[in-house]
Amino acid sequence: MAYYTSTTKADLEAYNTSVNSGEGYSGTTTQWATIVEHPNGKDFAILKHDSYTAELTEEETLGAEWFPQNEIS
């Protein structure tokens, strides 16, 4: 699944809101996706819904640098 990225978090929040409104989630489900914040604090991303498009930068996937973890391996 692809992602939309932006340096403006509000743009992604607006996209999420538009999906939520269109899908009409209720009950336990409250939103389409979680906005991912890059560790640099400047970039943001959200999973793209196949049925909703936006004028945002689209990325096929997010690199591991978006999800730094103290991996044990």
Residues that bind other proteins (CB under 8 A): 1, 23-34, 36-37, 39, 47, 49, 62, 64, 66-73
Distance CA(1)–CA(32), nearest Å, equals 13
Considering beta carbons, is residue 26 or 55 the nearer one to other proteins?
Answer: 26
Task: List Cβ neighbours of 6 (8 Å cut-off, separation of 6 or more).
Answer: 12, 43, 44, 45, 56, 57
Instruction: Work out how close the CB of 25 gets to other proteins at its nearest, in angstroms, rounded to a whole number.
Output: 5
Instruction: Work out how close the CB of 50 gets to other proteins at its nearest, in angstroms, rounded to a whole number.
Output: 11
